[in-house]
Amino acid sequence: MAENKLTWMIGGKAGYGIMVTGMIFSKSCVRGGLHVFDSVEYPSLIRGGHNTYHVRVEEDEIHSHIELIDILVALNKETVDKHKDKVTERGAIIYDSSETEINEGDVRKDIRMYDIPLLEIAKEHGNELMMNTVALGATMAIVDYDLGILEGVIKDEFSDKGKDVVNSNIESARDGYNNARANYNNNFRSKLSPSSDKGMILLTGNDAIAMGAIRAGCRFYSAYPMTPASSILHYMAAHELSKGVVVKQTEDEISAIHTAIGASFAGARAMTATSGGGFCLMSEGLGLAALTETPLVIALCQRAGPSTGLATRTEQADLRFAMHASQGEFPRVIMAPGDVEEAFTLTAKAFNLAEKYQIPVIVMSDKHLSESHKSSEKNRFNIDYEIDRGFLVPEWNDGEFRRFMITDNGVSPRALPGQEGTVFRTSSYERDEYGWNSESPENRTAMNDKRIRKTESIISEIPDPSVYGPEDADITLIAWGSTKGAVLEAMKFLEKESINANFIHITHILPFKAESVRKMLESAKKTLIVEQNHDLQLGGIIMQYTGVCIDRSLANYTGRQVLPHEIYDKAKEVLAR
């Protein structure tokens, strides 16, 4: 019998509470001291379509979801048909035969079928939408988990909807629990029980990005809603009063980036966020921030393109776009966190880099990282952090203020509007040290060199890539961003077969630590790069900067996140050659 190890999925149409049900299950497990990683999939529809919430639970920390399902909660037949082949041996399907007709032969005989009157119980308590809550109660009975923990989470989740809604949901869960207990043996092969309190919280990547911005002293946030970046706006709006952040939902992404630039110009730490389509509209503003040397942080949460593409699916195909967006050449920083902890710390770091070097900093996520939940210990977010506002001068006594003064490291003195003695002018035109427009070739060369010179100092603050696993490995895996979790889980599979693998995870992509990466790769026996795009964009960047060509690749651009077993299979294939 497996103890504290379970994969659970609920599936059904949009509008039937799939997401909130999955969240309640995840929170119930975390509240009991268990580790969770969950993944959501949904079409770009308000109602209908096929929606799933996949939760993986274990005693120890986990970094990714996996393909298999121990318990499948099917609110309709489509869920059964789409996912029955992923149900594990002697796994379970919870369904309601009055709503979902399953004929003999539709599913394997080893799968345990729990026919629970979900709709009938829900209607008894006043709302058929509570079918999902009934299924949660049945799940608790099947895995022998503390129903009181679930009830506590339900109470917290629905507290703002009033006592009647809270009580109806709790009663629905209890009746689902009792029905499963009364009608089925309590011998399912997987059980969950509360563990020791690890002081954990459950966060998405977007939650962590927003928290990192607030920790860094962000005082202005503007955005136009676009999946999968929208929940950053939701988080910031929910905390604007308590955290002192001005939050603006603008009419479009052009307005979003320019209001953020204006706020930063006025002295506030400012940020915006979008996805690929919105970033297209922001590219001119990106150049404006670069030329006016106005600090700016942008969260770029990728989804599958081009154009609208797959609006609610994941991909990592915007890396080159982020590197080269907007006309001309100018320094920028691009960072790509791989999990919620890195999303928090790198976003906070982005604000210091933006102000210290007066540049745009792009924090790249994707739909998978942005919307998947991972449990983490709270103390990981208690970071030492000092706000560094860079060359921000409190006063100026050296004649006319030279806002764009040529300096050795390219960083010029910056003042806020209204400071005595620091009057200056700026625009989107090239200018001289005082801000006057200038088209002279000498000035143009000097100013362009000044800006680009910042890169030399920035790179000294960029850490080497993180390396996981033994130094002497049979195979070296390389990845960036959210594929980190699947790679770490694949390494566990390889370790069980006594295969030594290590992993180079590149979080700081621009400026690129070419020499460090080159040395790491030259010492590798065999290499495999994992990316969520067709062109292997990081692989091309590595080749560009180091001259090293990665041996083999796994390119996934299905719109769904690469899975640990896919990386494991590919690694075995590479090793066999």
pLDDT digits (tens, 9 = 90+) for 262-283: 999 999 999 999 999 999 999 9
Q: 3-state DSSP call for residue 407?
A: coil
> For position 241, what pLDDT does the model report?
97
pLDDT digits (tens, 9 = 90+) for 526-561: 999 999 999 999 999 999 999 999 989 999 999 999
Q: Is the pLDDT of residue 16 over 90?
A: no
Tracing tokens 């040290």 back to the chain, one arrives at 433
Q: How confident is the model at residue 1 (pLDDT cuts 50, 70, 90)?
A: low
Question: What's the whole-number mean pLDDT along residues 369-383?
Answer: 96
Report in angstroms the alpha-carbon separations of 409 from 451, 452, 456, 458, 460: 9, 9, 8, 9, 12
Q: Is the pLDDT of residue 198 over 90?
A: no
3-state secondary structure 240-270: HHHHCCEEEECCCHHHHHHHHHHHHHCCCCE
Q: Is the pLDDT of residue 463 over 80?
A: yes
Q: Where are the domains of the chain?
A: 2-200, 202-375, 391-461, 466-576
> For position 502, what pLDDT does the model report?
98
Q: Is the pLDDT of residue 44 over 90?
A: no
CATH code for the domain defined by 466-576: 3.40.50.920
Average pLDDT for the chain: 96
Question: What's the whole-number mean pLDDT along residues 235-249?
Answer: 98
> From the centroid of its chain, how far is CA 551?
28
Question: What's the whole-number mean pLDDT along residues 36-41?
Answer: 97
CATH class of the domain whose range is 2-200: alpha beta
Q: Are 172 and 122 spatial neighbours (Cβ–Cβ below 8 Å)? A: yes
Question: What's the whole-number mean pLDDT along residues 170-199?
Answer: 94
Enumerate residues 6+ apart whose C-beta is below 8 A from 302.
275, 276, 314, 315, 316, 317, 318, 364, 365, 366, 367
Identify the weakest region by mean pLDDT among 29-43, 393-407, 518-532: 393-407
Strands (E), 207-249: 220-223, 246-249
CATH class of the domain whose range is 202-375: alpha beta
Same fold flag, 202-375 and 466-576: yes
Enumerate residues 6+ apart whose C-beta is below 8 A from 170.
151, 154, 155
The token duo for 269 is: 């730490």
